[in-house]
Structure 1
Amino acid sequence: MNDAPKVSIFRKEHFNAAHRLHNAAWSDEKNKQVFGLCNNANYHGHNYELIIQVTGTINPDTGYVIDTKILSDLVQREVCKKFDHHNLNLDVPEFANLNPTAENIAIVIFGKLRPHIDSTLELKIKLYETERNFVEFPAN
């Protein structure tokens, strides 16, 4: 049994992106009713704040759970460079057939990062779409 304490490391990143919430199977009226201003045909943007949480035991050789420079480089490569100043609906293949809600964006980000982080470490994504609206994946 491993009694080593677990520690969470957090890395905060930022990206700006445009999107449109839209369900192609619905009428224009239903899309406007459900998504309101977020259904603007000309898209709209957000200044997203992304917080990545990695939890695990401390490596006795390094003193780290994970090297934050390595984590930052990973997030920049896999998320920020692919999302920042892009239209999520048009420019990011993962959203070609997936509505880019904050919930779905967080799940996509998790999927992009998880394969690159040691499987013994827990990963959690917190994504702020606005100061008051944010999501967390996976949920507790």
Structure 2
Amino acid sequence: MPIVYLSRREHFSAAHRLHSPKLSDAENLAIYGKCNHKHGHGHNYKVEVVVKGELDPTTGMVLNITELKECMKVAIMDVMDHKNLDMDIEYFHDKPSTAENIAVFMWMSLAKILPKGELHEIVLHETDNNVVIYRGE
């Protein structure tokens, strides 16, 4: 049976502040610079989710794209869109909301609810120039 990769992209907006509770205020400022501003800042994120799996010989699909869209809505969009990631998502209460940590959070959230197929990759565009790829490793 052929193995196929299926991808869907969504956009969302969210605010955050790069700040680690494990560091002093001076260390946070030195590491994160203007992204450590006490009132935070925002991004228009783009996220691409890639699943892989055997091509179903009857449906011709790895996973119905409608199901992937709904999983992304539940695990990502409803949770993160127009939110302050640090304040509104418990996962970020004790860790910095870097793009890397956001991608890991998305992976953990999606992995719990995908009906079939294997989560292969999260590609998170924080900006046009800053991109994180996470494969669950």
Q: Is the 8 A contact 1:23 1:31 kept in 2?
A: yes
Deviation above 6 Å: which 4+ runs of structure 1?
none
Q: Once the 2 structures are TM-superposed, how far is the Cα of residue 139 of structure 1 from its aligned partner?
A: 6.9
State the TM-score, normalizing by the size of structure 2. 0.93
Whole-Å separation in 2 of the counterparts to 1:139 and 1:71: 18
Aligned to 2:94: 97
Aligned to 1:64: 61
Identity of aligned residues (%): 36
Q: Is the 8 A contact 2:13 2:43 kept in 1?
A: yes
Aligned to 2:112: 115
**CA displacement, residues 51-82 of structure 1 (integer Å, 9 cap, x when unaligned):** 00011110112110011111001101111111
Q: Once the 2 structures are TM-superposed, how far is the Cα of residue 122 of structure 1 from its aligned partner?
A: 3.8
Whole-Å separation in 2 of the counterparts to 1:36 and 1:138: 28
Q: 5+ unaligned residues in a row in structure 2: which ranges?
A: none
Match for 2:9 among 9, 12, 15?
12
State the TM-score, normalizing by the size of structure 1. 0.91
1:131 aligns with 2:110: no
Give 1:28's aligned amino acid: D
Instruction: State the superposition RMSD in angstroms.
Output: 1.5
1:53 aligns with 2:50: yes
